[in-house]
Amino acid sequence: MLKAYAGQWCLVTGASSGIGAEFARQLAARGMHCVLVARREDRLRAVAQEIEAAHGTRCEIILADLAQPHAGRELLAEVTRRGIALELLVNNAGFGMVSSLDETDVARALKLIQVNVTCLTELTLLVAKEMAPRGHGGIINIGSVVSFQPVGYMGAYAASKAYVLHFSEALWAELRPRGVTVTTLCPGTTRTEFFDQSGVPGWAERNRGQDVTSVVRTGLAAFDAGRPSVVSGWTNYLVTLAARLATRVTVVNWSLSIFRPRRT
């Protein structure tokens, strides 16, 4: 649970675009000051200016490549150096990777794990260790509908998001009695730059992706209700349910049809 939204500080990773930028907007609309983190300075500055003009709350920008070892620890040291105590952490930064084995860039797969898993874990644990003794605060981690199943041609990404869900739900149970809420938001296809970065440009537009406004609203409502996790959108929820009811072999074989490269 948060002490309050208004006047408190949140940190949003991956705030330079998409879901992260929208989290910053909606949290600022609730009166929060924001620490915005990503690599693209011009995009972060644009989000910060928009928020400050719209809501009059404060925004700090920290440029960080979260694929670097111990990026999380260094980021939090900078937050402390600026005299900021975090009431809410949103671990949103992440990227996907769609490719057949033959075309898989192994270095990029390892970078994906560093950002989506390692840095998220480092930030979550370090921030939770500060929040639990004081008895308030919250963490929102971004999973995915693919947190619930393996996905062919997207194996490392889907597995990274399965980790996010399991890790975060475990912490939700552990920290709830200590006053800290950990909620995982699992979006389905959402219209952001994600699929352009993941090697399948135009995917979200072709597949009627959700808009970031409703996805983030769903996440914040679940967080307010103290829920461990939420899937954004009814259709997406039904897909995750089907994935849990069918056999694992059926599910993984079906998944091949989603991103099968056209020429194979």
Ligand X SMILES: NC(=O)c1ccc[n+]([C@@H]2O[C@H](COP(=O)([O-])OP(=O)(O)OC[C@H]3O[C@@H](n4cnc5c(N)ncnc54)[C@H](OP(=O)(O)O)[C@@H]3O)[C@@H](O)[C@H]2O)c1
The residues that are catalytic are 157, 161
**The binder of ligand X chosen from 5, 9, 10, 20 (CB under 6 A):** 20
Cβ–Cβ under 8 Å, residues 230 and 219: yes
Looking at the Cβ atoms of 65 and 249, the one nearer to ligand X is 65
Only segment of 91-99, 123-131, 165-173, 250-258 that touches ligand X (CB under 6 A):
91-99
Does residue 40 touch ligand X according to CB under 6 A? yes
Tokens for 190? Answer: 């959402």
- List, in sequence order, the alpha helices (H) in the chain: 18-29, 41-55, 71-81, 106-113, 120-134, 155-175, 194-198, 203-206, 212-224, 234-245, 248-259
Kindly tell me which residue out of 92, 181, 184, 229 binds ligand X, with binding defined by CB under 6 A.
Answer: 92
Closer to ligand X by Cβ: residue 3 or 208: 208
Q: Are strands 59-63 and 86-91 parallel, antiparallel or unpaired?
A: unpaired
Work out how close the CB of 18 gets to ligand X at its nearest, in angstroms, rounded to a whole number.
2
Q: In the complex, which residue's CB is closest to ligand X? A: 18
Kindly state whether residue 93 participates in binding ligand X, applying the rule CB under 6 A. Answer: yes
Asked if 124 touches ligand X (CB under 6 A), the answer is no
Alpha carbon distance 124, 183 (integer Å): 11
Other beta carbons within 10 Å of 87: 21
Q: Which of residues 129-148 bind ligand X (CB under 6 A)?
A: 142, 144
